[in-house]
């Protein structure tokens, strides 16, 4: 049976609410309510727990604390109600996340549902969000099909861009390095057989080919793979200066360590999710220098710096350097939409689609239910995972290629 954790965010007020009330639809007026019920299913255990436990869950917890410490979510009439959280562990199982989201909607009847972690899981639950009428603020999901999904699921919002955004940015950086004679025009590439890996590698093939690069090695591996030595050996023999892995956190960490053991030191090393985790930089020290990935931050951005400082103070760990700030931004968007339009899901969805919001990302307005002002490429430089693409955006650092030798 799924482990269920029901954490009452009402501690701030010293009030408890009977669990038995969960099976009944909540009254609609603030005067009759005692809380606003928000639920989510998240990977607290299993292989996805590393990513969910860095990018998603800490931001959910931080936001609930920030809101409840301020008296609760504000409604259009100026009243405030505390958030009550209903949380399920999806155990990194697509079947479990679907069951849990359906339970939140049909049995717990929560007011709003926050999305799970990961591209595949967001795609798995999108039809349920749509069927039950909940806005889906899909943050940790990279997909080129977002414009299509917005038409299919009108209340879905895609906030981390599409695969082509990231691969076009990377191809541009590699082209510049090749023109300068710093790297050759051969690419070795591996990708996880998951929604994320499939979307990225599908976008990468035309991106590299249009930029004049030859893909000399292109292999997909199953999720849960731990031994990358055969792939590293094949990439070594391919003659490619650039090695690209569209990987999830466990594989990202494993590839990094196994590449060092094998003395595999490509001039360009680009890895997937997890590269921007603070633990990645801490674990690899000087050997993280020059490694590239998706995302990145402008370390001089005051709003981002203030968010990261508060995250570390409250949560006890630093946020990641890609999706974390976008996640907290999505929660602030939801909060402001509720403040303006109340608890009607249709009205809140309309506000999310059309409104302008002040968040940790600055002023935010979605374009066709998508967030477009994002960093699409980052690199570890001097102990920080800095944004390097788009190259013409204020705050971008110049990419440093080739990557230094392993220490």
Tens-digit pLDDT profile for residues 57-83: 999 999 999 999 999 999 999 999 999
Answer yes or no: is pLDDT of 15 > 90: no
Do 245 and 382 share a domain, yes or no?
Answer: yes
Rounded to a whole number of angstroms, the distance between the first and last alpha carbons of the chain is 47
pLDDT at 222: 96
Q: What is the mean pLDDT of the chain?
A: 93
Do 18 and 122 share a domain, yes or no?
Answer: yes
Do 322 and 221 share a domain, yes or no?
Answer: no
Residue 344 placed within a domain: yes
What residues make up the domain containing 123? 4-161+301-365
Residue 394 placed within a domain: no
Whether the CB-CB separation of 105 and 58 falls below 8 Å is answered with no
For residue 122, the number of C-alpha atoms closer than 13 Å in the C-beta half-sphere is: 27
Do 53 and 40 share a domain, yes or no?
Answer: yes
* Rounded-to-integer distance, Cα 367 and Cα 350, Å: 13
Query: Cβ–Cβ contacts within 10 Å for residue 147, how many?
Result: 13
Residue 24 placed within a domain: yes
Do 100 and 172 share a domain, yes or no?
Answer: no
Answer yes or no: is pLDDT of 14 > 70: no
Q: Tell me: the pLDDT tens digits for 243-291?
A: 999 999 999 999 999 999 999 999 999 999 999 999 999 999 999 999 9
Query: Cβ–Cβ contacts within 10 Å for residue 261, how many?
Result: 10
Find the range with the poorest average confidence among 23-37, 62-76, 77-91.
23-37
Do 382 and 246 share a domain, yes or no?
Answer: yes
How long, in residues, is the chain?
A: 407
Q: Domain tally for the chain?
A: 2
Do 86 and 171 share a domain, yes or no?
Answer: no
pLDDT at 123: 97
Residue 58 placed within a domain: yes
Do 240 and 384 share a domain, yes or no?
Answer: yes
Do 152 and 11 share a domain, yes or no?
Answer: yes
Residue 404 placed within a domain: no
pLDDT at 32: 83
Do 157 and 169 share a domain, yes or no?
Answer: no
Do 152 and 246 share a domain, yes or no?
Answer: no
Answer yes or no: is pLDDT of 11 > 60: no
What is the CATH number for 361? 3.40.50.2300
pLDDT level of residue 12 (50, 70, 90 thresholds): very low
| For range 23-42, the mean pLDDT | 72
């Amino acid at each position: 049976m799924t482990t269920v954790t029901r954490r009452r965010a009402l501690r701030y007020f010293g009030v408890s609410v009977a669990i038995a009330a969960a099976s009944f639809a909540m009254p609609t007026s603030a005067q009759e309510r005692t809380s606003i019920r928000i639920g989510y299913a998240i990977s607290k255990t299993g292989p996805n727990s590393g990513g969910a436990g860095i990018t998603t869950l800490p931001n959910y917890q931080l936001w609930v604390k920030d809101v409840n410490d301020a008296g609760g979510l504000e409604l259009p009439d100026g009243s405030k109600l505390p958030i009550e959280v209903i949380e399920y562990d999806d155990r990194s199982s697509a079947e479990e996340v679907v069951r849990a989201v359906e339970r939140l909607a049909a049995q717990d009847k929560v007011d709003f549902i926050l999305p799970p972690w990961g591209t595949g899981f967001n795609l798995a639950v999108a039809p349920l969000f749509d069927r039950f009428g909940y806005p889906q603020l899909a943050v940790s999901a990279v997909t080129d099909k977002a414009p299509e999904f917005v038409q299919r699921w009108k209340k879905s919002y895609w906030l981390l861009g599409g695969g082509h955004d990231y691969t076009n940015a990377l191809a541009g950086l590699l082209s510049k390095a090749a023109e300068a004679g710093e790297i050759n025009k051969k690419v070795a590439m591996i990708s996880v057989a998951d929604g994320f890996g499939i979307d990225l590698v599908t976008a990468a093939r035309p991106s590299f080919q249009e930029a004049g690069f030859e893909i000399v090695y292109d292999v997909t591996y199953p999720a849960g793979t731990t031994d990358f030595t055969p792939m590293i050996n094949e990439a070594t023999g391919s003659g490619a200066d650039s090695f690209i892995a569209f990987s999830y956190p466990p594989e990202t960490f494993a590839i990094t360590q196994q590449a060092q053991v094998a003395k595999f030191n490509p001039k360009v090393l680009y890895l997937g999710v997890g590269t921007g985790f603070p633990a990645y930089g801490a674990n690899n020290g000087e050997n993280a220098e020059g490694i590239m990935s998706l995302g990145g931050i402008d370390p001089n951005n005051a709003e981002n710096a203030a968010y990261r400082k508060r995250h570390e103070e409250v949560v006890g760990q630093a946020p990641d350097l890609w999706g974390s700030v976008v996640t907290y931004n999505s929660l602030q968007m939801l909060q402001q939409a509720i403040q303006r339009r109340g608890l009607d899901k249709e009205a809140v969805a309309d506000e999310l689609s059309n409104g302008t919001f002040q968040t940790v990302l600055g002023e935010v307005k979605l374009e066709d239910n998508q967030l477009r002002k994002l960093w699409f490429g980052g690199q570890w430089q001097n102990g920080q995972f800095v944004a390097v693409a788009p190259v013409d955006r204020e705050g971008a650092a110049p990419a440093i290629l080739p990557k230094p030798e392993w220490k």
